[in-house]
Amino acid sequence: MKKELIEKTYKLAKDQYAELGIDTDQVLSVLSEITISLHCWQTDDVGGFEKEGAELGGGGIQATGNYPGKAKSIGQMRDDLDKAMSLIPGKKRLNLHAIYGEFGGEFIDRDKIELKHFQGWIDWAKERDTGLDFNCTCFSHPLADDGFTLSSKNEKIRTFWVEHVKRCRAIGAEMGKQLGTPTVHNLWIPDGSKDIPVDRYGIRKLLKKSLDEIFSVKYPKKYLRDSVESKLFGIGSEAMVVGSHDFYMGYTLTNDLMITLDNGHFHPTESVGDKISSLLLFYDEILLHMTRGVRWDSDHVTTLNDEIILIAQEIVRAKALGRVNIGLDYFDASLNRVGAYALGTRAVQQAFLFALLEPHASLVTMEEEGKTFQRLAILELMKSKPFGAVWDYYCLKNNVPAGGDYIAEIEKYEKDVLLKR
């Protein structure tokens, strides 16, 4: 897109929003402070680098497709992340999973991982002046194969996973310390049952016991923030997921932890956007996994859809941008993976831009005055305002491709790099 055209259209857009009392320059300065945590696992379909050719296995999450160009080493993964980040405006962090350590060709089991396996990533983040988030990996492992990890009745299995998560939190705290920005550690476990269990209480009691052991180790909040992620069901855990939303709400509220809302983890008619205002009344901070659920899959690439927009609007409307950690969570092996990063992250940023461009105060007044038709009419009107012009200008200001210009960049990267792997 031509610079002059972007600037000209932005000026007109700015005037249109000004008519509604919105200062677009101010909005863009708020937008530029919103950090998105990019999930590292879109580069290689959640395979990780514990061993060569590792693949996502078990745990009820699946990546389908075999689009060429998947990252096969940490070096390739870093190339892809740099490329993706160069196409995304604004602030970014990287969200790592424990299977992405640098194990130097040696097999290090999960209960043996150490800081040294992640020092390279910390240095990588330092060089880029960014932060890291972290996740224990309680799936794709033989000791996760029978469907239970932290809630396993097999004490050997349960303590193995407790040790893994403890080590991950210790590594996360060190990441936060070295980088000067707290690392958010997220815990998701695949535990659940395909068919009707009869000892739900006993099983959940074991998860509680494991969490008590894990979180008995305390770290300063300036280094590490802990969150736990629920799910409604997964493949193989249709009848019961041990770490349900109720379970984790109870646990986190009584233990001063964060809760993760993955919007692919609820019933399709439930709205994560609606949950935000409730949770913010009880939590200082929460974590989001932004994604796109499609039928049984909870991990399609994010697009600018109603669900994502409502989540962004509810955060902005609650003036809670500083209390919500925004992470992404999707993995699709059927399209250009680097393109998927750029597209999905940009879509989430666009949702926040759309939310920030809302004449919120006047909408609240209409609501209070019972002007429900007018409220709906203004919400509709905002959909046809020149929001794209503001987005393009934001990209221009941040030296990243505006409009669809990033598509050609992805095509070039595919030809020059991905297809040569």
Residue 69 region by backbone torsions, left for phi larger than 0, else alpha for psi between -120 and 50, else beta: left
What is the number of the residue whose Cβ is closest to ligand RNT?
188
Nearest approach, Cβ of 184 to ligand RNT (angstroms)?
12
Nearest approach, Cβ of 401 to Zn ion (angstroms)?
28
Nearest approach, Cβ of 322 to ligand RNT (angstroms)?
23
Q: At what angle do helices 337-356 and 74-86 cross, to 10 degrees?
A: 40
Contact 259, 228 (CB under 8 A): yes
Of residues 259 and 390, the one with the C-beta less far from ligand RNT: 259
Please say if 329 is a catalytic residue.
yes
Please say if 289 is a catalytic residue.
yes
Please say if 188 is a catalytic residue.
yes
- Which of the residues 289, 314, 358, 392 is marked catalytic? 289
- Taking contact as CB under 5 A, which single stretch among the options 214-222, 236-244, 285-293, 331-339 is the one that binds Zn ion? 285-293
3-state SS assignment for residue 207: helix
Report what 61 binds from Zn ion, ligand RNT, none; CB cut-off 5-8 Å by kind. ligand RNT
* Enclosing H/E stretch for 274: helix 272-280
- Which of the residues 133, 329, 392, 414 is marked catalytic? 329
Site for ligand RNT, rule CB under 6 A: 41, 46, 61, 135, 188, 229, 231, 262, 289, 298, 329
Positive or negative: CA dihedral 176, 46, 157, 263: positive
* Distance separating alpha carbons of residues 132 and 28, to the nearest angstrom: 24
Nearest approach, Cβ of 298 to Zn ion (angstroms)?
7
- Which of the residues 297, 360, 371, 409 is marked catalytic? 297
Please say if 229 is a catalytic residue.
yes
Our CA dihedral for 148, 149, 154, 156, rounded to 10 degrees, sits at: 160
Our finding on whether 329 is near Zn ion (CB under 5 A) is yes
Report what 14 binds from ligand RNT, Zn ion, none; CB cut-off 5-8 Å by kind. none
Our finding on whether 133 is near Zn ion (CB under 5 A) is no
- Which of the residues 265, 275, 300, 385 is marked catalytic? 265
Which one-letter DSSP state was computed for residue 264?
A: T
Distances (CA, A) of 149 to 41, 110, 142, 203: 21, 12, 10, 11
Nearest approach, Cβ of 167 to Zn ion (angstroms)?
21
Nearest approach, Cβ of 139 to ligand RNT (angstroms)?
8
Please say if 300 is a catalytic residue.
no
The phi, psi pair for 78, rounded to 5°, reads -65, -35
Of residues 37 and 349, the one with the C-beta less far from ligand RNT: 37
Report what 135 binds from ligand RNT, Zn ion, none; CB cut-off 5-8 Å by kind. ligand RNT
The neighbouring-strand residues paired with 262 are 289
- Which of the residues 44, 80, 133, 262 is marked catalytic? 262
How many residues interact with Zn ion (rule CB under 5 A)? Answer: 3
Nearest approach, Cβ of 367 to ligand RNT (angstroms)?
34
Please say if 297 is a catalytic residue.
yes
Closest by CA to 165, choosing from 122, 204, 110, 115, is 110
Of residues 49 and 139, the one with the C-beta less far from Zn ion: 139
Please say if 109 is a catalytic residue.
no
Query: Pairing mode, if any, of strands 132-135 and 286-290?
Result: unpaired
* Distance separating alpha carbons of residues 190 and 148, to the nearest angstrom: 7
3-state SS assignment for residue 326: strand
Our finding on whether 289 is near Zn ion (CB under 5 A) is yes
Closest by CA to 125, choosing from 255, 232, 217, 35, is 35
Of residues 27 and 98, the one with the C-beta less far from ligand RNT: 98
Of residues 164 and 385, the one with the C-beta less far from ligand RNT: 164
Contact 245, 252 (CB under 8 A): no
Of residues 89 and 293, the one with the C-beta less far from ligand RNT: 293
Of residues 231 and 292, the one with the C-beta less far from ligand RNT: 231
How distant is the alpha carbon of residue 248 from its chain centre?
18
DSSP string of 385-413, one letter each residue:
S-HHHHHHHHHHHTTS--TTHHHHHHHHH
Positive or negative: CA dihedral 328, 330, 335, 336: positive
Report what 337 binds from Zn ion, ligand RNT, none; CB cut-off 5-8 Å by kind. none
Q: Which of 44, 262, 307, 392 binds Zn ion (CB under 5 A)?
A: 262
Please say if 177 is a catalytic residue.
no
Please say if 39 is a catalytic residue.
no
- Which of the residues 174, 229, 332, 414 is marked catalytic? 229
Active site residues: 188, 229, 231, 262, 265, 289, 297, 299, 329
Contacting positions for Zn ion (CB under 5 A): 262, 289, 329
